[in-house]
Structure 1
Amino acid sequence: MDTLDVYRGDPIRERIHESLPYGDPSDPLVFLMGPYRLLDPDYLYDEGGYSLPPDPLAPDGGDVEPDLIESTLRTVAERVSAETGATAFIASDVDIPTRTEVERDGLSDPGLSVIDQSVAFAKASAGNAFVFTKAGLTTGVGAETGAIPEYFRLRDETGRSRDPRTFKIFSEAEPSEDDSRTYDPTFSSASINEMDDAYDIRFGYFTSREHLVETLIAFVESYVEPLAD
Protein backbone atom coordinates (compact mmCIF):
# COMPACT_ATOMS: atom_id res chain seq x y z
CA MET A 1 0.00 0.00 0.00
CA ASP A 2 1.20 3.55 -0.71
CA THR A 3 0.84 6.56 1.57
CA LEU A 4 -2.61 7.31 0.15
CA ASP A 5 -3.89 3.88 1.21
CA VAL A 6 -2.84 3.87 4.86
CA TYR A 7 -2.48 6.38 7.68
CA ARG A 8 -0.37 5.52 10.72
CA GLY A 9 -0.65 1.84 9.86
CA ASP A 10 -4.43 1.81 9.38
CA PRO A 11 -6.13 1.42 6.00
CA ILE A 12 -7.70 4.78 5.21
CA ARG A 13 -10.95 3.14 4.21
CA GLU A 14 -11.21 1.64 7.70
CA ARG A 15 -10.35 4.99 9.29
CA ILE A 16 -13.20 6.61 7.40
CA HIS A 17 -15.75 4.02 8.49
CA GLU A 18 -14.52 4.11 12.10
CA SER A 19 -14.84 7.91 12.17
CA LEU A 20 -18.51 7.91 11.20
CA PRO A 21 -21.38 7.22 13.61
CA TYR A 22 -23.46 5.73 10.79
CA GLY A 23 -23.06 3.28 7.92
CA ASP A 24 -21.74 -0.26 7.75
CA PRO A 25 -18.05 -1.15 7.23
CA SER A 26 -19.04 -3.21 4.20
CA ASP A 27 -20.77 -0.25 2.51
CA PRO A 28 -19.08 1.37 -0.48
CA LEU A 29 -17.99 4.91 0.38
CA VAL A 30 -19.06 8.11 -1.36
CA PHE A 31 -16.84 11.14 -0.80
CA LEU A 32 -18.97 14.31 -0.79
CA MET A 33 -17.01 17.50 -1.48
CA GLY A 34 -18.39 21.02 -1.47
CA PRO A 35 -18.07 24.47 0.07
CA TYR A 36 -17.89 24.61 3.86
CA ARG A 37 -18.81 28.29 4.15
CA LEU A 38 -20.84 30.92 2.37
CA LEU A 39 -19.15 33.88 0.77
CA ASP A 40 -19.87 36.32 3.62
CA PRO A 41 -19.70 39.95 2.39
CA ASP A 42 -18.46 40.97 5.84
CA TYR A 43 -15.22 39.11 5.05
CA LEU A 44 -14.69 41.47 2.13
CA TYR A 45 -15.95 44.84 3.35
CA ASP A 46 -14.74 46.44 6.56
CA GLU A 47 -17.92 48.39 7.17
CA GLY A 48 -19.91 45.17 7.64
CA GLY A 49 -23.67 44.98 7.98
CA TYR A 50 -24.26 43.03 4.78
CA SER A 51 -26.73 40.18 4.59
CA LEU A 52 -25.56 36.70 3.73
CA PRO A 53 -26.42 35.63 0.18
CA PRO A 54 -29.15 33.00 -0.22
CA ASP A 55 -27.90 29.47 -0.73
CA PRO A 56 -29.64 26.07 -0.85
CA LEU A 57 -27.14 24.74 1.69
CA ALA A 58 -27.39 27.61 4.18
CA PRO A 59 -28.16 26.27 7.69
CA ASP A 60 -31.70 26.65 8.99
CA GLY A 61 -31.30 28.64 12.19
CA GLY A 62 -30.40 26.87 15.41
CA ASP A 63 -27.00 27.18 17.03
CA VAL A 64 -25.05 26.78 13.78
CA GLU A 65 -23.32 29.81 12.30
CA PRO A 66 -25.51 31.05 9.45
CA ASP A 67 -22.72 30.79 6.87
CA LEU A 68 -21.50 27.32 7.89
CA ILE A 69 -22.49 25.14 4.95
CA GLU A 70 -20.38 22.30 6.37
CA SER A 71 -23.20 21.39 8.77
CA THR A 72 -25.73 20.96 5.98
CA LEU A 73 -23.29 19.04 3.77
CA ARG A 74 -22.93 16.65 6.70
CA THR A 75 -26.72 16.31 6.92
CA VAL A 76 -26.89 15.65 3.18
CA ALA A 77 -24.25 12.92 3.52
CA GLU A 78 -26.17 11.31 6.38
CA ARG A 79 -29.43 11.33 4.41
CA VAL A 80 -27.83 9.80 1.33
CA SER A 81 -26.30 7.12 3.55
CA ALA A 82 -29.64 6.36 5.19
CA GLU A 83 -31.46 6.00 1.88
CA THR A 84 -28.89 4.00 -0.11
CA GLY A 85 -26.57 1.06 0.38
CA ALA A 86 -23.54 3.36 0.44
CA THR A 87 -21.96 5.50 3.16
CA ALA A 88 -21.47 9.14 2.16
CA PHE A 89 -19.15 11.38 4.17
CA ILE A 90 -17.38 14.74 4.21
CA ALA A 91 -13.66 15.17 4.85
CA SER A 92 -13.93 17.02 8.16
CA ASP A 93 -15.70 14.06 9.80
CA VAL A 94 -12.75 11.71 9.28
CA ASP A 95 -10.15 11.28 12.01
CA ILE A 96 -7.22 12.17 9.77
CA PRO A 97 -6.12 15.79 10.20
CA THR A 98 -4.59 18.05 7.61
CA ARG A 99 -1.11 19.37 8.25
CA THR A 100 -2.59 22.81 8.86
CA GLU A 101 -4.79 21.33 11.60
CA VAL A 102 -1.79 19.51 13.10
CA GLU A 103 0.16 22.75 13.36
CA ARG A 104 -2.79 24.84 14.53
CA ASP A 105 -3.95 22.41 17.22
CA GLY A 106 -0.55 21.07 18.29
CA LEU A 107 -1.44 17.48 17.38
CA SER A 108 1.00 14.59 17.53
CA ASP A 109 -0.30 13.16 14.24
CA PRO A 110 1.77 13.68 11.09
CA GLY A 111 -1.35 14.72 9.17
CA LEU A 112 -1.80 14.86 5.41
CA SER A 113 -1.64 17.82 3.08
CA VAL A 114 -5.13 18.94 2.09
CA ILE A 115 -4.84 17.63 -1.46
CA ASP A 116 -3.27 14.33 -0.36
CA GLN A 117 -6.10 13.93 2.14
CA SER A 118 -8.71 14.55 -0.55
CA VAL A 119 -7.07 12.16 -3.01
CA ALA A 120 -6.72 9.51 -0.30
CA PHE A 121 -10.41 9.79 0.60
CA ALA A 122 -11.36 9.65 -3.08
CA LYS A 123 -9.18 6.58 -3.56
CA ALA A 124 -10.88 4.85 -0.63
CA SER A 125 -14.31 5.66 -2.06
CA ALA A 126 -16.36 3.99 -4.75
CA GLY A 127 -17.98 7.29 -5.73
CA ASN A 128 -17.00 10.96 -5.62
CA ALA A 129 -19.38 13.92 -5.74
CA PHE A 130 -18.35 17.57 -6.17
CA VAL A 131 -20.96 20.16 -5.10
CA PHE A 132 -20.92 23.78 -6.24
CA THR A 133 -23.25 26.59 -5.20
CA LYS A 134 -23.29 30.17 -6.41
CA ALA A 135 -22.74 31.70 -2.97
CA GLY A 136 -20.41 29.07 -1.54
CA LEU A 137 -16.66 29.45 -1.07
CA THR A 138 -15.67 26.85 -3.65
CA THR A 139 -11.89 27.27 -3.80
CA GLY A 140 -11.31 23.98 -1.98
CA VAL A 141 -13.72 21.84 -3.95
CA GLY A 142 -12.44 23.49 -7.13
CA ALA A 143 -8.91 22.30 -6.34
CA GLU A 144 -10.24 18.82 -5.56
CA THR A 145 -12.12 18.73 -8.85
CA GLY A 146 -8.80 19.14 -10.64
CA ALA A 147 -6.50 17.01 -8.48
CA ILE A 148 -8.69 13.93 -8.10
CA PRO A 149 -9.48 13.30 -11.80
CA GLU A 150 -5.80 13.81 -12.61
CA TYR A 151 -4.78 11.26 -9.97
CA PHE A 152 -7.07 8.65 -11.54
CA ARG A 153 -5.86 9.62 -15.05
CA LEU A 154 -9.39 10.23 -16.27
CA ARG A 155 -8.01 12.23 -19.17
CA ASP A 156 -6.53 9.02 -20.62
CA GLU A 157 -9.31 6.89 -22.08
CA THR A 158 -7.13 3.78 -22.21
CA GLY A 159 -5.19 4.27 -18.98
CA ARG A 160 -7.89 5.36 -16.55
CA SER A 161 -7.82 3.71 -13.14
CA ARG A 162 -11.47 4.55 -12.40
CA ASP A 163 -14.71 4.67 -14.35
CA PRO A 164 -15.63 8.36 -14.93
CA ARG A 165 -19.27 7.48 -14.24
CA THR A 166 -18.40 7.15 -10.54
CA PHE A 167 -17.59 10.88 -10.43
CA LYS A 168 -20.16 13.62 -10.79
CA ILE A 169 -20.36 17.40 -10.45
CA PHE A 170 -23.52 18.78 -8.84
CA SER A 171 -24.13 22.44 -9.62
CA GLU A 172 -26.76 24.80 -8.27
CA ALA A 173 -29.22 25.82 -10.98
CA GLU A 174 -32.64 27.24 -11.76
CA PRO A 175 -35.35 25.60 -13.86
CA SER A 176 -35.27 26.77 -17.46
CA GLU A 177 -37.79 29.46 -18.31
CA ASP A 178 -39.37 27.32 -21.03
CA ASP A 179 -40.62 24.96 -18.28
CA SER A 180 -38.80 22.00 -19.81
CA ARG A 181 -36.95 19.48 -17.65
CA THR A 182 -33.68 21.35 -18.11
CA TYR A 183 -31.76 23.76 -15.91
CA ASP A 184 -29.86 27.01 -16.16
CA PRO A 185 -26.79 26.83 -13.87
CA THR A 186 -26.42 29.67 -11.37
CA PHE A 187 -22.84 28.65 -10.60
CA SER A 188 -20.46 29.18 -13.50
CA SER A 189 -16.74 28.55 -13.95
CA ALA A 190 -15.08 27.94 -17.30
CA SER A 191 -12.69 25.34 -15.89
CA ILE A 192 -15.46 23.46 -14.06
CA ASN A 193 -17.89 23.75 -16.96
CA GLU A 194 -15.44 21.95 -19.24
CA MET A 195 -14.73 19.02 -16.91
CA ASP A 196 -16.90 16.79 -19.08
CA ASP A 197 -14.69 17.53 -22.09
CA ALA A 198 -11.44 16.96 -20.21
CA TYR A 199 -12.38 14.02 -17.99
CA ASP A 200 -15.78 12.70 -19.14
CA ILE A 201 -17.24 13.70 -15.77
CA ARG A 202 -20.97 14.24 -15.96
CA PHE A 203 -22.98 17.10 -14.47
CA GLY A 204 -26.10 17.08 -12.35
CA TYR A 205 -28.12 20.12 -11.32
CA PHE A 206 -30.11 20.94 -8.22
CA THR A 207 -32.43 23.78 -7.25
CA SER A 208 -32.75 23.10 -3.51
CA ARG A 209 -31.20 21.07 -0.73
CA GLU A 210 -33.89 18.42 -1.09
CA HIS A 211 -33.27 18.26 -4.82
CA LEU A 212 -29.54 17.80 -4.18
CA VAL A 213 -30.27 14.85 -1.90
CA GLU A 214 -32.49 13.30 -4.57
CA THR A 215 -29.91 13.71 -7.34
CA LEU A 216 -27.14 12.31 -5.13
CA ILE A 217 -29.26 9.28 -4.29
CA ALA A 218 -29.92 8.70 -7.98
CA PHE A 219 -26.18 8.95 -8.71
CA VAL A 220 -25.32 6.45 -5.99
CA GLU A 221 -28.01 3.97 -6.96
CA SER A 222 -27.44 4.24 -10.72
CA TYR A 223 -23.64 4.23 -10.86
CA VAL A 224 -21.75 4.00 -7.57
CA GLU A 225 -23.36 0.88 -6.16
CA PRO A 226 -23.51 -1.08 -9.44
CA LEU A 227 -19.89 -0.22 -10.31
CA ALA A 228 -18.42 -0.66 -6.81
CA ASP A 229 -15.62 -3.20 -6.62
Structure 2
Amino acid sequence: MRAYLFLALTTLLANPAPLFAQEADDYAKLGPDAVAITADNAYLRSGEAPDYWAFSSFVKPQFTTSACSIATVTAAINGIMGQPEWASQTIMTQQDLLELTANAEWAAVSAEGGDGVTFQQLVDFTNEALAAVGLDRNVMQFNPTIASDMARKGLVDMLVENEASADDAIMVYFNQGVVTGDWDGPHIALVGAYDAEAQMVLILEVDQEWYIPYWTSVDTLLAAIVKPTSAEHGPLEGQTGGFVMIRAAG
Protein backbone atom coordinates (compact mmCIF):
# COMPACT_ATOMS: atom_id res chain seq x y z
CA MET A 1 0.00 0.00 0.00
CA ARG A 2 2.78 2.43 0.94
CA ALA A 3 4.66 1.55 -2.22
CA TYR A 4 1.53 2.25 -4.28
CA LEU A 5 1.00 5.62 -2.60
CA PHE A 6 4.65 6.54 -3.10
CA LEU A 7 4.42 5.64 -6.79
CA ALA A 8 1.21 7.65 -7.20
CA LEU A 9 2.72 10.68 -5.44
CA THR A 10 5.89 10.45 -7.53
CA THR A 11 3.83 10.35 -10.72
CA LEU A 12 1.77 13.36 -9.60
CA LEU A 13 4.85 15.43 -8.75
CA ALA A 14 6.51 14.53 -12.02
CA ASN A 15 3.40 15.47 -14.00
CA PRO A 16 1.67 18.24 -12.04
CA ALA A 17 -1.68 19.46 -13.29
CA PRO A 18 -1.67 23.09 -14.45
CA LEU A 19 -3.00 25.57 -11.91
CA PHE A 20 -5.22 27.13 -14.56
CA ALA A 21 -6.39 25.38 -17.70
CA GLN A 22 -5.56 27.15 -20.95
CA GLU A 23 -8.57 28.35 -22.89
CA ALA A 24 -8.86 27.34 -26.53
CA ASP A 25 -8.46 30.91 -27.81
CA ASP A 26 -5.73 31.90 -25.33
CA TYR A 27 -2.38 33.37 -26.37
CA ALA A 28 0.97 34.37 -24.89
CA LYS A 29 0.96 36.69 -21.87
CA LEU A 30 3.29 39.11 -23.67
CA GLY A 31 3.42 39.68 -27.41
CA PRO A 32 6.59 40.08 -29.49
CA ASP A 33 7.14 43.70 -28.40
CA ALA A 34 7.56 43.07 -24.67
CA VAL A 35 10.04 40.97 -22.69
CA ALA A 36 9.47 40.07 -19.03
CA ILE A 37 12.10 41.22 -16.54
CA THR A 38 12.57 37.59 -15.51
CA ALA A 39 13.67 36.77 -19.06
CA ASP A 40 16.01 39.75 -19.43
CA ASN A 41 17.67 41.29 -16.40
CA ALA A 42 21.22 41.68 -17.73
CA TYR A 43 21.11 45.49 -17.73
CA LEU A 44 20.00 45.60 -14.10
CA ARG A 45 22.86 43.29 -13.10
CA SER A 46 25.55 45.06 -15.11
CA GLY A 47 24.59 48.74 -14.85
CA GLU A 48 23.76 51.09 -12.00
CA ALA A 49 20.06 51.39 -12.94
CA PRO A 50 19.37 53.92 -10.14
CA ASP A 51 15.66 54.29 -10.88
CA TYR A 52 14.98 50.58 -10.75
CA TRP A 53 16.55 50.18 -7.32
CA ALA A 54 14.94 53.37 -5.98
CA PHE A 55 11.41 52.80 -7.25
CA SER A 56 10.72 49.11 -7.81
CA SER A 57 10.06 48.35 -4.14
CA PHE A 58 7.41 51.07 -4.01
CA VAL A 59 5.43 50.01 -7.09
CA LYS A 60 2.29 48.38 -5.70
CA PRO A 61 -0.80 46.97 -7.45
CA GLN A 62 -3.39 49.55 -8.45
CA PHE A 63 -6.19 49.23 -5.89
CA THR A 64 -8.93 49.17 -8.56
CA THR A 65 -8.91 48.47 -12.29
CA SER A 66 -9.21 52.24 -12.86
CA ALA A 67 -6.53 53.36 -10.39
CA CYS A 68 -3.36 53.21 -12.51
CA SER A 69 -2.84 56.98 -12.20
CA ILE A 70 -2.94 57.18 -8.40
CA ALA A 71 -0.92 53.95 -8.13
CA THR A 72 1.83 55.30 -10.39
CA VAL A 73 1.97 58.76 -8.83
CA THR A 74 2.14 57.18 -5.37
CA ALA A 75 5.00 54.91 -6.46
CA ALA A 76 6.89 57.83 -8.00
CA ILE A 77 6.58 60.03 -4.92
CA ASN A 78 7.42 57.21 -2.51
CA GLY A 79 10.47 56.31 -4.57
CA ILE A 80 11.75 59.88 -4.55
CA MET A 81 11.16 60.29 -0.81
CA GLY A 82 12.50 56.82 0.03
CA GLN A 83 11.73 54.67 3.03
CA PRO A 84 10.50 56.72 6.02
CA GLU A 85 13.17 57.45 8.59
CA TRP A 86 11.28 56.57 11.76
CA ALA A 87 9.70 53.33 12.96
CA SER A 88 6.39 55.08 13.66
CA GLN A 89 6.05 56.25 10.05
CA THR A 90 4.14 54.21 7.49
CA ILE A 91 4.78 54.11 3.75
CA MET A 92 2.19 56.20 1.91
CA THR A 93 -0.53 54.18 0.20
CA GLN A 94 -2.67 55.12 -2.79
CA GLN A 95 -5.61 55.78 -0.48
CA ASP A 96 -3.41 57.95 1.75
CA LEU A 97 -2.45 60.13 -1.22
CA LEU A 98 -6.05 60.47 -2.34
CA GLU A 99 -6.95 61.65 1.15
CA LEU A 100 -4.04 64.10 1.24
CA THR A 101 -4.96 65.67 -2.09
CA ALA A 102 -8.67 65.69 -1.19
CA ASN A 103 -9.49 65.76 -4.90
CA ALA A 104 -12.95 64.26 -5.34
CA GLU A 105 -12.55 64.05 -9.12
CA TRP A 106 -9.34 62.01 -8.88
CA ALA A 107 -10.97 59.71 -6.34
CA ALA A 108 -14.03 59.24 -8.58
CA VAL A 109 -12.13 58.39 -11.76
CA SER A 110 -9.88 56.01 -9.78
CA ALA A 111 -12.76 54.12 -8.14
CA GLU A 112 -13.81 50.74 -9.52
CA GLY A 113 -15.65 51.42 -12.77
CA GLY A 114 -14.21 54.94 -12.97
CA ASP A 115 -13.30 56.49 -16.31
CA GLY A 116 -9.58 56.82 -15.63
CA VAL A 117 -7.67 60.04 -16.29
CA THR A 118 -6.77 62.11 -19.31
CA PHE A 119 -3.15 62.98 -19.96
CA GLN A 120 -3.68 66.54 -18.74
CA GLN A 121 -5.38 65.28 -15.59
CA LEU A 122 -2.32 63.14 -14.88
CA VAL A 123 -0.18 66.28 -15.10
CA ASP A 124 -2.55 68.31 -12.91
CA PHE A 125 -3.06 65.57 -10.31
CA THR A 126 0.70 65.01 -10.09
CA ASN A 127 1.22 68.69 -9.28
CA GLU A 128 -1.49 68.49 -6.62
CA ALA A 129 0.05 65.37 -5.12
CA LEU A 130 3.50 66.93 -4.88
CA ALA A 131 2.04 69.98 -3.14
CA ALA A 132 0.03 67.79 -0.76
CA VAL A 133 3.09 65.89 0.45
CA GLY A 134 5.32 68.98 0.49
CA LEU A 135 7.77 67.67 -2.10
CA ASP A 136 9.56 70.49 -3.93
CA ARG A 137 9.65 69.24 -7.50
CA ASN A 138 8.76 70.47 -10.97
CA VAL A 139 6.53 68.58 -13.40
CA MET A 140 7.53 68.38 -17.05
CA GLN A 141 5.22 66.96 -19.69
CA PHE A 142 5.89 65.62 -23.17
CA ASN A 143 2.82 64.74 -25.23
CA PRO A 144 3.69 63.91 -28.86
CA THR A 145 0.82 63.19 -31.23
CA ILE A 146 2.75 61.55 -34.07
CA ALA A 147 5.66 59.11 -34.08
CA SER A 148 8.14 61.47 -35.74
CA ASP A 149 11.92 61.54 -35.46
CA MET A 150 11.58 64.66 -33.32
CA ALA A 151 9.16 62.91 -30.98
CA ARG A 152 11.50 59.95 -30.68
CA LYS A 153 14.41 62.25 -29.85
CA GLY A 154 12.31 63.96 -27.20
CA LEU A 155 11.52 60.62 -25.56
CA VAL A 156 15.13 59.46 -25.66
CA ASP A 157 16.44 62.74 -24.24
CA MET A 158 14.08 62.46 -21.27
CA LEU A 159 14.92 58.79 -20.74
CA VAL A 160 18.66 59.56 -20.71
CA GLU A 161 18.16 62.38 -18.21
CA ASN A 162 15.96 60.21 -16.03
CA GLU A 163 18.40 57.30 -16.02
CA ALA A 164 21.23 59.47 -14.67
CA SER A 165 19.90 59.49 -11.10
CA ALA A 166 16.96 58.58 -8.87
CA ASP A 167 16.19 62.23 -8.11
CA ASP A 168 13.47 62.27 -10.75
CA ALA A 169 10.83 59.94 -12.14
CA ILE A 170 9.01 59.40 -15.43
CA MET A 171 5.42 58.23 -15.61
CA VAL A 172 4.26 57.05 -19.02
CA TYR A 173 0.70 57.33 -20.35
CA PHE A 174 0.36 54.81 -23.18
CA ASN A 175 -1.84 52.26 -24.92
CA GLN A 176 -1.01 49.12 -22.99
CA GLY A 177 -2.08 46.74 -25.74
CA VAL A 178 0.39 48.13 -28.28
CA VAL A 179 3.16 46.99 -25.93
CA THR A 180 1.74 43.78 -24.43
CA GLY A 181 -0.35 42.60 -27.37
CA ASP A 182 -3.49 42.39 -25.25
CA TRP A 183 -5.95 44.96 -23.84
CA ASP A 184 -6.50 47.94 -26.16
CA GLY A 185 -6.77 50.92 -23.85
CA PRO A 186 -4.96 53.76 -22.07
CA HIS A 187 -2.77 52.97 -19.10
CA ILE A 188 -0.19 54.61 -16.83
CA ALA A 189 2.95 53.04 -15.39
CA LEU A 190 6.37 54.04 -14.11
CA VAL A 191 9.58 53.91 -16.12
CA GLY A 192 12.03 51.72 -14.22
CA ALA A 193 15.15 51.87 -16.37
CA TYR A 194 16.50 52.80 -19.79
CA ASP A 195 19.09 50.68 -21.56
CA ALA A 196 20.50 53.22 -24.02
CA GLU A 197 22.64 50.70 -25.89
CA ALA A 198 19.71 48.38 -26.57
CA GLN A 199 17.19 51.25 -26.83
CA MET A 200 14.91 49.42 -24.40
CA VAL A 201 12.67 50.83 -21.66
CA LEU A 202 11.70 48.95 -18.50
CA ILE A 203 8.06 49.42 -17.49
CA LEU A 204 7.27 48.95 -13.79
CA GLU A 205 3.67 47.81 -13.91
CA VAL A 206 0.98 48.73 -11.41
CA ASP A 207 -1.39 46.42 -13.31
CA GLN A 208 0.01 43.54 -11.27
CA GLU A 209 -3.02 41.30 -11.53
CA TRP A 210 -1.85 40.70 -15.09
CA TYR A 211 1.81 41.69 -15.45
CA ILE A 212 5.24 41.82 -13.90
CA PRO A 213 7.75 44.45 -15.12
CA TYR A 214 8.68 44.17 -18.79
CA TRP A 215 11.01 45.72 -21.34
CA THR A 216 9.88 47.29 -24.60
CA SER A 217 11.67 49.25 -27.30
CA VAL A 218 11.65 53.03 -27.60
CA ASP A 219 9.88 52.72 -30.95
CA THR A 220 7.14 50.47 -29.57
CA LEU A 221 6.62 52.74 -26.58
CA LEU A 222 6.36 55.77 -28.87
CA ALA A 223 3.77 53.96 -31.00
CA ALA A 224 1.83 53.15 -27.82
CA ILE A 225 2.00 56.77 -26.69
CA VAL A 226 0.64 58.31 -29.89
CA LYS A 227 -2.16 55.80 -30.51
CA PRO A 228 -5.49 57.59 -29.87
CA THR A 229 -7.84 56.02 -27.36
CA SER A 230 -10.82 54.29 -28.98
CA ALA A 231 -14.47 55.30 -28.57
CA GLU A 232 -15.25 52.40 -26.22
CA HIS A 233 -13.39 54.28 -23.47
CA GLY A 234 -15.96 57.08 -23.42
CA PRO A 235 -14.59 60.42 -22.19
CA LEU A 236 -11.02 59.28 -22.90
CA GLU A 237 -11.75 58.85 -26.62
CA GLY A 238 -9.03 60.41 -28.75
CA GLN A 239 -6.55 60.75 -25.89
CA THR A 240 -2.90 60.26 -26.71
CA GLY A 241 -0.21 59.81 -24.12
CA GLY A 242 3.30 60.84 -23.28
CA PHE A 243 5.75 61.31 -20.44
CA VAL A 244 5.06 63.12 -17.18
CA MET A 245 8.38 63.70 -15.46
CA ILE A 246 8.87 64.71 -11.84
CA ARG A 247 12.14 66.65 -11.76
CA ALA A 248 14.25 68.24 -9.07
CA ALA A 249 13.37 71.90 -8.61
CA GLY A 250 15.76 74.55 -9.88
TM-score above 0.5, yes or no: no
- With normalisation by structure 2, the TM-score equals 0.26
Higher RCO structure, 1 or 2 (CA under 8 Å, sep 6+):
2
- With normalisation by structure 1, the TM-score equals 0.27
